Amino acid sequence: MKILKKILIVLVILIAIPLVAALFVKKDYTVEREVTIHKPKQEVFDYVKYLKNQDNYSKWAMMDPDMEKTYRGTDGTEGFVSAWNSDKEDVGSGEQEIRKITEGQRIDFELRFFKPFESVSPAYMTTRATSEDQTKVTWGFEGHMNYPMNLMMVFVDFEKVIGDDLQTGLDNLKEILESRKTVTAGSREFLLDYFKKTSDKLSESVSGLSEAQLQFRPSEDKWSVSQCLEHIVAAESMLFGVVRKGLEAPANPEEKDKVKFSDEELIAAITDRSQKAEAPAELRGEGKYTDPETATDDLASARKAVLEYIENASLEDLRDHVIEFPFGKVDGYQSLLFIAAHSARHTLQIEEVIADPDFPENQEQGAEKG
């Protein structure tokens, strides 16, 4: 019995020592890494504020190519949530939310881990211009380990491990952005790039949606995603017809001083969803699309003629044509920008529908795969 008591005492001591030691071990840690990217600040910020783009550069997002991913809300805006679930123990499950965006400067995230253990950790990314064409990006992470798990911090240098992962992600981000060609505003490349971005954004927004999701209407006076897609596709060809007719008319450069907007202001005005407009009857969708692929294929077909026209047009000639639109005069270049901006406007409308609290879950395809 004495021997048994001694064994029990030794076991209690062995258990007690680390528990006592954990009382004196810190529970919180902060990690921060940075990289300088040879790109203008706005271009960098416009990329990192979209949480889905982390799939392209974050080491954590690449740890399991087969992890299940789901999304809630509109990416690039406060409240958007990206969730993951993996069978790999070192990946587990959790979600990340955009909590705050300070435009052009900082994005604050909150990471909520569910498996293999529960915790909540704030994170952030900041962008600071070091020159006109250079941006310093800082990625920070704040971790917390509850007692007695914080004892692990004695044996594992979490600041280094997580810091190395952050640095890998930042190095990937640098490579991605610096490999992208910078397009000059007002150039042919800018116009083509804007069409591509609006096509890509639309495809991303509707990818994986079921027929039930496409047909959902938040209310009687609001369109479904399917109706929005139908409107985008129909308007693409109609608008190009109007624009082309104006561009085939004689040039009128003497009207240039009557153009109301800069290119940037035009895009901002068209994509401003706070200002609503009623579509003509012939462009009101009936909800014919039952799958997103058919809609995006139809848009690509409609855009083929537009893109071919842009490829062969004279930029000088485009600027020398001033066309009357319902909201004022625009030049030919801006009239083509308007077509792509119109698509961007209704992509935002689609995202508003998807963000509706009653938007149905995808019962046909399950969670979206990353």
Quote the CA–CA distance of 275 and 348 in Å, as a whole number: 13
| Residue 133 Cα to chain centre, angstroms | 23
In the prediction, which pLDDT does 361 show? 85
- Dihedral, CA atoms, 263, 277, 200, 112, nearest 10 degrees? 110
Which value, in Å, is the radius of gyration of the alpha carbons in the chain? 26
Going from the N-terminus, what domains does the chain have, and what CATH number goes with each? Answer: 23-179 (3.30.530.20), 188-354 (1.20.120.450)
Residue in this structure with the two tokens 């792509």, named with its chain if needed = 340
**Mean pLDDT for the stretch of residues 172-198:** 91
* Residue entry with tokens 């909540």: 120
Using pLDDT thresholds of 50, 70 and 90, give the confidence band for residue 240: very high
Tokens of 251: 């040039």
* pLDDT interval class at 265 (50, 70, 90): very high
Return the minimum-mean-pLDDT range out of 85-89, 192-196, 222-226, 273-277. 273-277
Tokens coding 23: 């009382």
For residue 2, count other CB atoms closer than 10 A to its CB: 6
> Collapsing DSSP states into helix, strand and coil, what is residue 32?
strand
Mean pLDDT of 91-105: 93
> What are the pLDDT digits (tens) for 299-327?
999 999 999 999 999 999 999 999 999 88
Q: Is 354 left (phi over 0), alpha (psi -120 to 50) or beta?
A: alpha
Among 354, 106, 306, CA closest to 210: 354
Q: How open is the CA angle 346-348-354, to the nearest 5 degrees?
A: 110
In this structure, the number of other CB atoms found within 10 A of the CB of residue 119 comes to 14
Strand partners, 28: 144
Which residues are within 8 A (CB) of 207 and not within 5 positions of it... i.e. 6 or more apart?
292, 368
Residue 307 identity (one-letter amino acid)? L
- CA dihedral of residues 356, 361, 366, 370 (deg, nearest 10): 10
Q: State the helix-helix crossing angle for 292-312 and 332-354, rounded to 10 degrees.
A: 160
What pLDDT sits at residue 125?
A: 96
Give yes or no for residue 92 having a pLDDT over 50: yes
In this prediction, residue 229 carries a pLDDT of 97
Q: How far apart are CA 278 and CA 258, in angstroms?
A: 26
Q: What is the pLDDT of residue 14?
A: 45
Three-class SS of residue 129?
Answer: strand
What integer best gives the mean pLDDT of the chain?
86
Backbone angles phi, psi at 116, to 5 degrees: -75, -10
- Give the global pTM: 0.64
Is the predicted pLDDT of residue 352 greater than 70, yes or no?
yes
Tell me which amino acid residue 116 is.
Answer: P
List CB contacts of 7: < 8 A, sequence separation 6 or more.
Answer: none
Average pLDDT over residues 171-195: 91
329 three-state secondary structure: strand
Cβ atoms of residues 321 and 336 within 8 Å: no
The reported pLDDT for the residue numbered 118 is 80
Most confident of 61-75, 76-90, 242-256: 242-256
